[in-house]
Structures are given as C-alpha cells and as structure tokens.
Amino acid sequence: MSERVFNFSAGPAAIPLPVLEQVRAEMLSLPGAGMSVLEISHRSKWFDAILGEAEENLRRILAVPKGYHVVFLQGGAQLQFDMVPINFLDAEHSADYVLTGSWGAKALEEARISGSARVAWDGKPERWVRVPRSSELDLDPDARYVHFTSNETIQGVQFREPPDTGAVPLVCDASSDFLSRPIDVSRYGLIYACAQKNAGPAGMTVVVLHDDLLARRREGLHRMLDYRSHVDGGSRYNTSPVFPIYVFGLITRWIEREMGGLSALTRVNEEKAKVLYDALDEHAGFYTAHAERDSRSVMNVTFRLPSEELEKEFLAGAAARGLVELKGHRSVGGVRASIYNAMTRAGVEALRDWMVEFHTAHASS
C-alpha cells in the first residue's frame, strides 16, 4: 500500500505529515553534519543544537515557569509509574492516587511496591466513565503528592482542569493529552508524558518537574532511577534517545509555526472531537459513548455499537475505507478513535461519514 491511511491508533500514533517529510528530507544527512541523525553522538554539537531547541521550544509552548527542570528520558511512561514513588515515597510519607482508568490503576499498583499509597477517588465501580469533581476527592493533607492521569487513553475520559489538591504537589501522567492544549504548569509538581501520542515516536518520555519537589527526593537511590542524575546530566546521564528527541523538536516547531501554538491547536482538537461526539449523540441508541458528557476525552473517543458483530462489521468497513486502528482496547471493547494533534479534520470527517452511513444501513435491522 503506498497511499497513507487515516491512522486512529492510540499510540504509537500518527505523526504530522510535514514532520515526516522533513525527517525524510534530512534522513541521510542532517544539515551540517554529513551524517544521519541516527548516527550522531548524544555528545555531539549537532545533538547539542537538537536538544537545546527541543527544550527551548517546549518551555516556550507550554510557558514553563522558572524553577522547573525539563528532562528527556527513556523507559516510557511506565518507568515514571516507578520513578515517581521511588523518588518521593519514604517510611513517613504516603501518596494519594486519583483513579479514572486503567493507567492510573496501574500507577497505583506500582507505587504500592515502593511505599504506601491511598486511593483518593476510584472510578472503577462506575466502569471508568467519568472524572471526579474536586469536592469528591478524599485527600490526605500530608500526602507527599497526588497522582492523576489527565487523559485515560483506554477509557477516553479526560480532566478539563487538574484536581484541586491545595498545597500537596500534583503529579500528572499527561501521556495522552500532552501538547494538545495549554496547561498551567505552575499548578504541578511533576508532569510526565511518553512521546508516542502527540510528541513523537516511542522511546522517549518528557518529565517537567519543580525544583522544590526534586529537593524532597530520597537520597541513596540507584542513579538511573534518580531524577537528580538526569537533571544534573542535562538529559544525557546515559545515552539520550537521540532520534525521538529530534522528532520531538520538529513537532514542537510544527505546533508553533504551522498550528499557531497550543491555544489555536486546542480549538482545532475540540472541533474535531465535536464532529465525532455530535455523530454519536445524533445516533444515540445505536452508538453509545463510553464516557459521561463532561468527562469526554478530546483525544480518545470511545464508543460501542449494539452488538459485537456490528462492531466487527463497522471496523472492517472502516478499514476498507482507509480508516484504521479503530478497535477499542480489549478491556473496553467497541471502537476507539484516537484523534491526536496529527489527525486531520479530513480524517475525522471521513470517520463521521462512515458512522452515518453505517447507521443508515443498520439502524432498523
């Protein structure tokens, strides 16, 4: 197949076409280097420039205030499930976890290997259909941090605003909505996000953390697991994931120069999500959205059809139209349309058209 399809994968996910084109143009020889980006040292001057730009762009796009460190790590978001408690929990301190889906629940299990962690709210009894209001949280004022997942990729539920945790630092797994909208970084102690949704290919995780929280980490940790090593090493404590950081830099450029920054991008993303949610609402009874209205994700639109047979037929018909990777996660079933930054409005409209056509063909049967 040589035509590009519309890729609705939850991650690794679509990358903006202009970014892929630039990667291709520079693949054999990075300008000035005479070598591929796949071949340069993480200590070379070419990587100095790449890393410097990636960090600067991120700081500008997200308006990261003073006092925050930015590091690019390997190990994926799940390494952060471990590094956060390993660094910050000790015999005297526990943490609170807000559970709105599968990833947050997994983060809690990992935290409990290192220390004590409480559940501040659990959406599982309601089948992960919504996020809580801050008034529903059972918070420990002495907790070392409160962990939450801003967007639960599998269930498709998303916080509009981070929970209010008073003086307790917020730690956010922002893997699947990072760089999709502006956030007020000053409200967080630590934000982490794996790259493979909005921020590039798999193999890199961005961590933004405040110096005050860093100062409270435990001493004597294994160095690869210690945030201090990576902060002091300027994201080069060990060999940096050179290629994903390079692509990340190109994506941040694309966000600023072609999409007009995060405020403009968030409007585009909201409009795309509305196209699909409107289609679900107009054909409610046939299509059933998984998430409650106020918690619906702008990034992962999850829904069911009246039967598994119809779901199979829907997915097969979608694939035949070049709309791929729409199968819901096995734990939720149904359909999941991941519509990150790189998914175009045209792709979303093609999916909407297929939803309408499929409804017309099957609604009365």
User: Which of 6, 88, 103, 128: binder of ligand PMP (CB under 6 A)?
Assistant: 103
Q: Evaluate the omega torsion of the peptide bond into residue 244 and state whether it is cis, within 30 degrees of 0.
A: no
Under the criterion CB under 6 A, does residue 194 sit at the interface with ligand PMP?
yes
Residue 318: closest CA among 365, 341, 352 = 352
CA–CA separation, 235 and 175 (whole Å) = 19
Set 96, 121, 128, 173: catalytic member = 173
CA–CA separation, 62 and 183 (whole Å) = 7
User: Which of 9, 87, 94, 176: binder of ligand PMP (CB under 6 A)?
Assistant: 176
**Position 243, amino acid:** F
**Is 46 part of the annotated catalytic residue set?**
no
CB of 285 to ligand PMP, least distance (A): 30
Phi, psi of 69 (to 5 degrees): -95, 150
CA–CA separation, 145 and 118 (whole Å) = 11
CB of 84 to ligand PMP, least distance (A): 12
Q: Residue with the closest Cβ to ligand PMP?
A: 76
Under the criterion CB under 6 A, does residue 12 sit at the interface with ligand PMP?
no
CA–CA separation, 27 and 35 (whole Å) = 8
Window contacting ligand PMP (CB under 6 A); options: 116-124, 168-176, 211-219, 261-269: 168-176
Question: Three-state SS for 104?
Answer: helix
**Is 272 part of the annotated catalytic residue set?**
no
User: Which of 87, 175, 235, 269: binder of ligand PMP (CB under 6 A)?
Assistant: 175
| Shorter beta-carbon distance to ligand PMP: residue 44 or 74 | 74
CA–CA separation, 110 and 124 (whole Å) = 18
Under the criterion CB under 6 A, does residue 105 sit at the interface with ligand PMP?
no
Under the criterion CB under 6 A, does residue 88 sit at the interface with ligand PMP?
no
Window contacting ligand PMP (CB under 6 A); options: 46-54, 72-80, 136-144, 291-299: 72-80
**Is 48 part of the annotated catalytic residue set?**
no
Residue 248: closest CA among 29, 44, 37, 106 = 37
CB of 117 to ligand PMP, least distance (A): 16
CB of 335 to ligand PMP, least distance (A): 17
Window contacting ligand PMP (CB under 6 A); options: 53-61, 124-132, 170-178, 221-229: 170-178
Window contacting ligand PMP (CB under 6 A); options: 116-124, 171-179, 241-249, 250-258: 171-179
Question: How does DSSP assign 281-338, residue by residue?
Answer: HHTBTTBEESS-GGGB-SSEEEEE-SSHHHHHHHHHHHHHTTEE--BPPTTT-SEEEE
User: Which of 149, 158, 240, 295: binder of ligand PMP (CB under 6 A)?
Assistant: 149
Task: Give whole-number Cα distances, 99 to 36, 105, 209, 283, 300, in Å.
Answer: 43, 6, 21, 30, 17
In residues, how long is the chain? 365
Under the criterion CB under 6 A, does residue 78 sit at the interface with ligand PMP?
yes
Instruction: Write out the catalytic residue numbers.
Output: 103, 173, 197
- Interface positions with ligand PMP (CB under 6 A): 11, 76-78, 103, 149, 153, 173, 175-176, 194
